Structure 1
Amino acid sequence: MSTSSPVKLGGVHHAAYRCKDAKETVEWYERVLGMEYTSAFSEDHVPSTGAYDPYMHVFLDAGNNNILAFFELPHQPDMGRDENTPAWVQHLAFRVESEEALLAAKAHVEGLGIDVLGPTHHGIFKSIYFFDPNGHRVELATDIGTVEQYAELKNVAMPMLEEWSETKTAPRHADWLHEIARGEHKKLKD
């Protein structure tokens, strides 16, 4: 975290997305992901702008004081998605504690009749993917990397960003991640 900013964050208060139906969304996240529905706000006028736009704003506990929220906006055009962005890009990713928990979650979600992709091996974590009833892509991920691997990723983060900024092609600073995912990597490269 940068120390040059006077802003000192204490985490994410909540992340908010739009939903088609607040009740259906709450019930889905409770049933599929075990989230607790904690609170709701509903107004006819938006407090920050004063505009007339009735809404229901629901809040769900995603664990560790992380809150996921949704807005149902019945007077707005039907929600869609950014057609210029691939469906795999915009997603909600939640942490699970282990590979065993990831596989158990996959079995649970599939048992509810929901299509699940994965597990996908990303070198330092594994993930599964599926969609909520609003069309939001949901990812469950578990970290599997070593302390050294995470430290190396932090060390190459800025050089990768700089190279990407100049070339708009994938930098090769962390090729070892792909080797891990393919099972070809034996030790952290220098």
Structure 2
Amino acid sequence: MNTPNRLSRPIVLTSAALFAAGIVSGAGIYARRSDTPEVHHGDTSAWTVHLILTALAVAVVALLAVRGCLVRSVRVPFTRAAGARVRLTLREAVRSPGAAVRTVVSLPFAWIFLFGIFRAGEQVIAGLDPNFTANAWGGPSYLGAMYCHYLDVVLLMAVAALALHGLLLRPAAVRTPSGMGKVETR
């Protein structure tokens, strides 16, 4: 049975491994922290920008919730269909110049998405170092810095996922079971 909306085990495991690697990296940053406190500069917080971004994000989430596609939108980058599209694009990149260009153009977006997962993990432990958050956008507190960092990473990952959704090849049109025309699989 084809279940394209089910989660892709390789994508979920890769994401979990990246998050765990980020936690380990953050623990390393925390272990090498300085005993000399860094001076906080008040002009580094960027709260105004993050409050505006929060309002925009809430509006988009509310719109997706009203339209009934919130859960599907969140799961899309982690589904079996997404994994199939990645495999198809990589396989076709060898055969088709157009697919090769799509692959090259999609690499920075894939890197942003995957690095976002790693960076989110890294900040969990590294953020416990007061010097790590002293001049962070939401700093100097752990909660403020994490709020701004996680908002940024989620928004960047969402934009990267949207770009990848447009760039990755879709499986070729297939005949419906009744044989009545073609339907594009997603």
TM-score range, shorter chain: under 0.3
The structure where strand makes up a greater share of residues is 1
The structure where helix makes up a greater share of residues is 2
Higher RCO (CA-CA < 8 Å; seq separation 6+): 2
Report the TM-score, using the length of structure 1 for normalisation. Answer: 0.24
Report the TM-score, using the length of structure 2 for normalisation. Answer: 0.24
